[in-house]
Amino acid sequence: MTLFFFDFDKTLYAYDFHIRLPALSLVTGASQYQLAKTWWAGGYEIRAEEGEWRECDEYFAEFTRVTGAKLTLENWQETRALASTAIPGSIEAIAFAATLGSVCVLSNNPSPFAASLTLLAPDVAAIVGDNRLVSCDLGTRKPDPAIYRLALDRMGATAEETFFTDDSAANIAGAESIGITGHHLTYVDGVPQVDALRAAIERFAG
């Protein structure tokens, strides 16, 4: 099979933490400083992405314990959506790739994201269907080569027949280390170079 893995944040959808953090502060009543220092700077989001709290209820219970602020799934979805905006050229690219083979999202994210893709990105969800692999479910994060091996096993594909795009050069290097064809989605003056992504997909399919 021909398989195309797509990262989500900053690859399919733009993501701005500077929009999300004030929104989280507003819905929780906690200061931005408190949330950023305790949860993100404390390494808890990375631990969540690695699968330490694989259920949403576990994630939110730990969030409250660490930050002292209550957060619901609905609040999480609302604030995440505010910070996320579709990149039209990337959506066109994944739709094009879907005409050439199987497509799948492969994202570093916690359990609430895994439960929310259809709401956050209905356009992407409609293209990939059930092909959504999130680090919290796989138990490790990009760029660890292990996540790519697990993803290939889940999809029943080999590295040689797989293409992967991501905005992180380190994540691309991790995929390429096991033989996957990688494409680094770069930005020039804040603009993602989606034409180069489309061209890379065409070259791989050819």
Q: Is the dihedral of CA 109, 113, 118, 123 positive or negative?
A: negative
For helices 88-98 and 194-205, angle between their N-to-C axes, nearest 10 degrees: 10
Q: What is the pLDDT of residues 23-71, one digit of tens each?
A: 999 999 999 999 999 999 999 999 999 999 999 999 999 999 999 999 9
Q: Which residues have C-beta within 8 Å of that of residue 93, sequence separation ≥ 6?
A: 165, 194, 197, 198, 201
Q: Quick one: which of 128, 129, 196, 142 has its CA closest to 174?
A: 142
More confident residue, 138 or 206: 138
Cα separation, 185 vs 97, whole angstroms: 15
Instruction: Tell me what pLDDT residue 31 has.
Output: 98
pTM (2 d.p.): 0.97
